[in-house]
Amino acid sequence: MNGINTTALAVFAALFVLVTVLGFFAARWRRADLHQLHEWGLGGRRFGTVVTWFLLGGDLYTAYTFVAVPALVFGQGAIGFFAMPYTIISYPFVFVVMPRLWNVSRRHGYITAADFVRGRFDSAALALAVAATGILATMPYIALQLVGIQVVLGAMGIQGRGWMAELPLVGAFVILAAYTYQSGLRAPALIAVVKDAIIYVTVAAAVMIIPSKLGGYAAIFAAVPPAKLILTPPNPGTLGQSSAYATLALGSALALFLYPHSLTGVLSSSGPGVIRRNSAMLPAYSFLLGLIALLGYMAIADKVDQVPAFADGFQQYGPNFSVPALFLHMFPPWFVGFAFAAIAIGALVPAAIMSIAAANLFTRNIYKEFIRPTCAGKEESTAAKMASLAVKFGALVFIVLVPQKYAIQLQLLGGVWILQTFPAVIVGLYTRRLHRWGLLAGWLTGMTLGTWMARELAFKATVYPLVVGGLVIPGYTALWALMANLAVAVVVSAALSGVGVANGQDATRAEDYRG
C-alpha cells in the first residue's frame, strides 16, 4: 500500500484500454440505429444462447462475487456462503417463470417489468411504482460495483489524503459513465465475452494456485476457527443464523430477476428456448462462485490482515480489502494487474448493464408516460442516456452517505426494495386475482416496512430479528417486508372485489404467456 504498484498498474491499464477500445467499436457491431431505444437498450432483442449466457453471467460475476461475498466470508464466516444456495435456486425459478414473461413481452412489445404491469393491470400508478422501485433498487447495486473498482484501484496505490482520497472512486465513476454513454447495451455485451475470458483465467489461478500455496483446501479450512465454519445453531429462544441464511438466499434469489438489468438480459434474448437452455447451463457459474467465496477463508488462512503493508488498506476499505490483499500477497505484480483488471472490468460491465436498464425504465415508464408522451426516436434515447448518468450519480450518493463495512449490504439493501415488486410482476404473470389497488397498497406497505427496518439497522445490516411468540427469528428484511406486502395485497384485493371496485382492462390474454 506504500506507493504505486507500477507493474500491476501497467498491466491493469493495458487491459483496460483494450476493453475500452472494444467498447467504442461495439457501437459499430451489428450496426443499427442507436438512436432507437430498443437498439440502444435491448441490442435489438436478438441475442442467442451464447451472448445471453455471457450477459446473464455478467450479472453474476461482479464485484459482488469477487469482493463482497468473500469479504463477508472473511469477516463473518459461514453466513457469507448464503450466496451459494442463492445462485443455485435462482435458475430453477428463472426456468419456470421467465419464459412466460418473455412470451407476453414479445407479444405486446414490453421491454420493462413496468410495461407489463401497465398492460396487465391497466394501472399507470402501479406501473410507476414498479418503475420507480427498479430505479431506486439499482442504485445501491451499482454502488457495490463502484466500491469494487475503488478497492482495486486503491490496492494498486492510487490513493491519497484529503480530497485525493476519493480519487479511486471518481476514477471508477468516470470510466463507467464514459463508456456506457456511447454504445448502450452493445458495449457490455461484447465486452462481456472478453471480460469472462480474463475472469476465467483469474478464477482458475485463484482457486488452484492460492490453495496449493496454502497447503490445500483441507489446510485452509483447518486454519479457520471451527465456530466460524458453520452457522450458529438454534438455541432455545432463537433460531440462530439458520433462518438468516435461508431467508437471505431465498430473498436474493427471488429478487435477482426482478432487477431491471436481469430482465434486460432475459428480454434481449431471442426466445424462451434460449432462456431455458441458459437456466440449465448457468449453474456452472454457481460452482465457481462458491470457490470464489472461499477466497475469504484463504485470506484468513494467509493471515493477510496481519501483514503490515496491508494495514492501511484494511483500515480504509475494511473486510472488502481481503481479496485484493490476498492477490497482492500471493501473485507476482504483473498477474495482480491482470486479476485486478478482471475484478474492475467484472464490476464495470454489470454496472453498465444496470444503469442502462434503469435508464430504459425511466424513459419508457416515467418520462414518456408522464412527462413527454410524444417523445420518440432520438429524443427518447437522449433521455435514456441522461437517465443512466443520473442513476450512476445516485449510486455515488449511496457510497458517500452510507459507508459500508461490508459492501454486500448495498446489494442486499437493493433487494429489500426490488422484492416488493414481486406480487405485481411475478404473481401477476400467473393470476389477476390480486386487485391493482390491492397490489399498490401491498407495495406501499412493503416499501415502508422494508425501509423502516433498514433504517432501524442504520442501513448497515439487512437481517432483522423478528420476534414471534417469544422466539427470535433473524431473517432477511426483504422477505419480512414481502410477507407484509402480500398479506396487505390479498386482504385489500378481497375487500375491493367484494365491494365491486373495477379492476381495469387486462391487455393480455392467457395464450400470450405460452410459446
List C-alpha distances in Å: 256 to 64, 90, 345, 412: 13, 7, 21, 10
Q: What is the DSSP letter of 472?
A: E
Instruction: Answer yes or no whether residue 106 interacts with other proteins by CB under 8 A.
Output: no
- From the list 76-84, 336-344, 352-360, 495-503, the region that binds other proteins by CB under 8 A is 76-84
Minimum CB separation of residue 470 from other proteins in Å reads 21
- Interactions with other proteins, residue window 234-263 (CB under 8 A): 242-243, 245-246, 249-250
Minimum CB separation of residue 349 from other proteins in Å reads 23
- From the list 29-37, 227-235, 255-263, 413-421, the region that binds other proteins by CB under 8 A is 227-235
Residue (97 or 130) nearer to other proteins, CB: 97
Minimum CB separation of residue 359 from other proteins in Å reads 32
- The closest alpha carbon to 61, from 73, 50, 69, belongs to 69
Minimum CB separation of residue 231 from other proteins in Å reads 5
Measure CA of the first residue to CA of the last residue in the chain; give whole Å: 56
What does the alpha-carbon distance between residue 350 and residue 59 come to, in Å, rounded to a whole number?
5
Q: Which of 46, 303, 378, 514 is close enough to bind other proteins by CB under 8 A?
A: 514
- Interactions with other proteins, residue window 451-480 (CB under 8 A): none
Q: What is the dihedral of CA 27, 194, 46, 360, to 10 degrees?
A: -60
* Strand pairing report for 463-468 and 471-476: antiparallel
Q: Which of 106, 107, 108, 277 is close enough to bind other proteins by CB under 8 A?
A: 277
Q: Which positions ≥6 away from 335 have C-beta within 8 Å?
A: 11, 205
Minimum CB separation of residue 208 from other proteins in Å reads 15
- From the list 61-69, 78-86, 332-340, 349-357, the region that binds other proteins by CB under 8 A is 78-86
Give the angle 241-410-382 at the CA atoms, nearest 5°.
Answer: 150
Instruction: Answer yes or no whether residue 219 interacts with other proteins by CB under 8 A.
Output: yes
- From the list 275-283, 352-360, 398-406, 478-486, the region that binds other proteins by CB under 8 A is 275-283
Instruction: Answer yes or no whether residue 23 interacts with other proteins by CB under 8 A.
Output: no
Q: Which positions ≥6 away from 220 have C-beta within 8 Å?
A: 211, 214, 294, 297, 298, 301
What does the alpha-carbon distance between residue 390 and residue 188 come to, in Å, rounded to a whole number?
19
- The position carrying cell 469479504 is 71
In 3-state terms, what secondary structure has residue 438? helix
Minimum CB separation of residue 114 from other proteins in Å reads 25
- From the list 18-26, 94-102, 336-344, 483-491, the region that binds other proteins by CB under 8 A is 94-102
- The closest alpha carbon to 508, from 131, 101, 93, belongs to 101
Instruction: Answer yes or no whether residue 105 interacts with other proteins by CB under 8 A.
Output: no
Minimum CB separation of residue 136 from other proteins in Å reads 28
Minimum CB separation of residue 262 from other proteins in Å reads 17
Instruction: Answer yes or no whether residue 221 interacts with other proteins by CB under 8 A.
Output: yes
- Interactions with other proteins, residue window 280-309 (CB under 8 A): 280-281, 283-284, 286-287, 290, 294
- The closest alpha carbon to 445, from 476, 410, 419, 473, belongs to 419
Residue (111 or 274) nearer to other proteins, CB: 274
Instruction: Answer yes or no whether residue 233 interacts with other proteins by CB under 8 A.
Output: yes
In 3-state terms, what secondary structure has residue 234? coil
Residue (110 or 285) nearer to other proteins, CB: 285
Q: What is the DSSP letter of 231?
A: P
Residue (89 or 444) nearer to other proteins, CB: 89
Number of residues counted as binding other proteins (CB under 8 A):
43
CA gyration radius for the chain?
Answer: 22
Q: Which amino acid is at 483?
A: M
- The closest alpha carbon to 234, from 75, 472, 467, belongs to 472
* Length reported for the chain: 515
Binding residues for other proteins (CB under 8 A): 78, 81, 84-85, 88-89, 91-93, 95-96, 99, 216-219, 221-222, 226, 229-231, 233, 242-243, 245-246, 249-250, 273, 276-277, 279-281, 283-284, 286-287, 290, 294, 514-515
